[in-house]
Amino acid sequence: MGHKSACILITNDDGIYAEGLFALKSALESVGRVIVVSPDRPRSASGHSITLHKPLRLNKVRLPDGTYGYSSNGTPSDCVSLGVLDVVGEKVDLVVSGINWGPNLGWDLTYSGTVSAAMEGAIMGIPSFAVSVASYEEGISFEYAARFSAFLAKLLLTHELPPDTLLNVNVPNLPADQIRGIEITRQGKRRYSGKIEKRIDPQGRLYYWLGGNVEVGELEDGTDVKAIAENKVSVTPVHLDLTGYAALESLRTWGLERFR
C-alpha cells in the first residue's frame, strides 16, 4: 500500500476547532487521506468513556482550511467508533489522536481522552497513536509535534506493532534545535495533589471545582516523565492488557477459592 492511498482517521479531546488538530491534519495530508471526526467541544480528561444512554449526533462542519470534517456530541472514543464504523466507509489504516494541548504522561493515561481515543483504535485492531505537546503555555507550538506525527505515521504504515498495542507520544514545547532527541520509554508515575474547592453559586447552592497540582517526585530512568524533563520526545508503547502480573502468584495464595 502506498502512503498516499492510506486512510487516516484523526480525532482529539480539545474539540473540532483546536489548533493542534489542524496542525496534525495538515502534516498527515502528506501521508494519506485524512478524515476528521472530533468532539464538538473540549472533552479533556474524559477517559475512555463511551456514550450509551443518549443519542449521538454527527454534523458535517466546514473547517478553517476550507475542507470538511465531522463533529460529534460524543467522547473522543465515540468519535473513533463513529469514524471507523460509519463515516469512513472503507478500511481505516491508521488512527491518530491529538495534537493535545498539554502532556499525557505517566498516570495521566488513566484520565486522558486523547490517549483513550487511540486505545479505541487499537481495540478495533487499527494501528494507532496519541500525540501531545507537554505544555499548557499560551502560544504553544505544534509544528515539531506535527512533523514528528507524519514521520511516525509513515513508519506505522510499514511496520507492525504487537497485537493490542498503541503508542503514546509526548513532545516538548521547544524549537526543534532545542529538542534532545527521541527516546523509547515506559510509562512513569505522575500524580496530582488532591484539591477540592467548595463555592456557592448565586442561588446559594453549593458547587465544587476539582483541582490539584502535579507532584514532582523522583524521575525514574527510562520513563516518559523523565524524557520530557530532559527535553526529549517520549514514545511509549502502551498495551491494552491491564493485568497486574506481579500480583498474580501472591493473590493465588490468599485462599480466595475457599469462599462458598
The domain segmentation of the chain, as residue ranges, is 3-189+219-258
Mean pLDDT of the region 25-44? 96
Mean pLDDT of the region 145-173? 97
Mean pLDDT of the region 125-136? 97
Q: What CA dihedral angle connects 96, 102, 105 and 111, to 10 degrees?
A: -80
Please report which confidence band the pLDDT of residue 3 belongs to, taking 50, 70 and 90 as the band edges: low
Name the 3-class secondary structure at 88. coil
Contact yes or no for 233/103 (Cβ under 8 A): no
Residue type, 100: N
Pairing of strands 68-72, 58-62: antiparallel
> Could you report the per-residue pLDDT of 187-200, keeping only the tens digit for each?
999 888 778 899 99
Query: Cβ–Cβ contacts within 10 Å for residue 112, how many?
Result: 28
Please report which confidence band the pLDDT of residue 4 belongs to, taking 50, 70 and 90 as the band edges: low
Query: Cβ–Cβ contacts within 10 Å for residue 1, how many?
Result: 11
Q: What is the pTM of this model?
A: 0.93
How far, in Å, CA of 100 to CA of 50, rounded? 19
Q: Which fold has domain 3-189+219-258?
A: Stationary-phase Survival Protein Sure Homolog; Chain: A, (3.40.1210)
pLDDT beyond 70 at 244: yes
Mean pLDDT of the region 10-25? 97
pLDDT beyond 90 at 90: no
Instruction: Identify the residue with better confidence: 115 or 197.
Output: 115
Mean pLDDT of the region 124-137? 96
Q: What angle do CA 162, 165, 169 make, to 5 degrees?
A: 120
- Three cell numbers written together for 44: 479533556
